[in-house]
């Protein structure tokens, strides 16, 4: 009797599922995902305060949000004139990375694992070389960064340059601050430091 009930429940569930997609359910899900990923600028500014205040960010940056392959919530800014993307990941705590790691140069040991955890594709980087250290000033917050060059392991003769930076904020309803990891990279020859600098310096806290 129990097996029969289980079978009936499965049949009902499948029937509901088929009906859902048959009557526009797939389009509904697609639209819901698209709406979440690409909100209006005003909605983005209002809902993503955990990362900072983005109301002063130039319209040259297209803002969006999503999750990466490892479950980290992230927001992105695509610089429309060149297509370069800047991503900020919420690492949920300060254990994985903190601003202190840039002062002690612990970032040098962590950069490989951090980039592989933050990546959103099958592209793997190797032969990291830190070529610059510094900080951005975002309102009253100092955001340390390192610029790196690296090779793309699965694309022959492909070299990239990018930046890893971070800052901490306390998320709404959270008791402890969490690190916000900033990552951007592009073709080595196309790297432009003003793109990420202009974005980060416009964030308010």
What pLDDT does residue 118 have? 73
What pLDDT does residue 71 have? 67
Q: Please count the other Cβ atoms lying within 10 Å of the Cβ belonging to residue 73.
A: 17
Strands 159-169 and 178-187, bridge-based pairing: antiparallel
Please give the Cα distance from 177 to 93 (Å, whole number): 6
What pLDDT does residue 205 have? 86
Say how far residue 94 (Cα) sits from the centre of its chain.
Answer: 16
Q: Cβ neighbours of residue 68 under 8 Å, at least 6 residues apart? A: 74, 89, 118, 119, 120
0.85 exceeded by the pTM? Answer: no
pLDDT digits (tens, 9 = 90+) for 79-121: 999 999 999 999 989 998 999 999 999 999 998 888 777 766 6
What pLDDT does residue 28 have? 47
Per-residue pLDDT of the chain (205 residues; tens, 9 = 90+): 556 666 565 666 565 656 555 655 555 445 555 656 788 999 999 999 999 999 999 999 999 998 765 667 899 999 999 999 999 999 989 998 999 999 999 999 998 888 777 766 667 888 889 999 999 999 889 999 999 999 988 788 899 999 999 999 999 888 899 999 999 999 999 999 999 999 999 999 8
Q: Cβ neighbours of residue 155 under 8 Å, at least 6 residues apart? A: 123
The DSSP-derived string for the chain is: -HHHHHHHHHHHHHHHHHHHHHTTHHHHHHHHHHHHHS--HHHHHHH-TTS-B-TTS-TTEEEEEEE-TTS-EEEEEEETTTTEEEEEEE-SSSSS--THHHHTTTHHHHHHHHHHHH--SS--EEEEEEEEEEEEEETTEEEEEEEEEEEETTSTT-EEEEEEEEEEEPPTT-SS-EEEEEEEEEEGGG--HHHHHHHHHT-B-
């Amino acid at each position: 009797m129990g097996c029969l009930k289980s079978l009936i429940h499965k049949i009902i569930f499948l029937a509901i599922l088929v009906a859902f997609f048959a009557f526009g359910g797939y389009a509904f899900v697609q639209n819901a995902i698209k709406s979440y990923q690409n909100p209006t600028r005003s909605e983005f500014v209002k809902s993503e305060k955990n990362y900072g205040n983005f109301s002063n960010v130039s319209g040259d940056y297209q803002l969006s949000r999503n999750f990466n392959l490892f479950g980290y919530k992230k927001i992105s800014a695509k610089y429309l004139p060149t297509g370069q993307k800047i991503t900020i990941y919420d690492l949920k705590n300060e254990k994985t990375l903190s601003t202190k790691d840039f002062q002690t140069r612990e970032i040098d040991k962590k950069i490989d694992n951090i980039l592989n955890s933050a990546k959103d594709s099958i592209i793997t980087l190797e032969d990291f070389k830190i070529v610059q250290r510094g900080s951005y000033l975002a309102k009253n917050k100092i955001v340390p960064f390192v610029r790196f060059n690296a090779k793309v392991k699965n694309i022959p003769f492909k070299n990239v340059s990018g930046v890893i930076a971070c800052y901490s904020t306390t998320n709404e309803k959270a008791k402890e601050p969490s690190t916000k990891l900033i990552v951007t990279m592009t073709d080595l020859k196309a790297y432009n430091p003003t793109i990420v600098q202009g974005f980060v310096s416009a964030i308010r806290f």
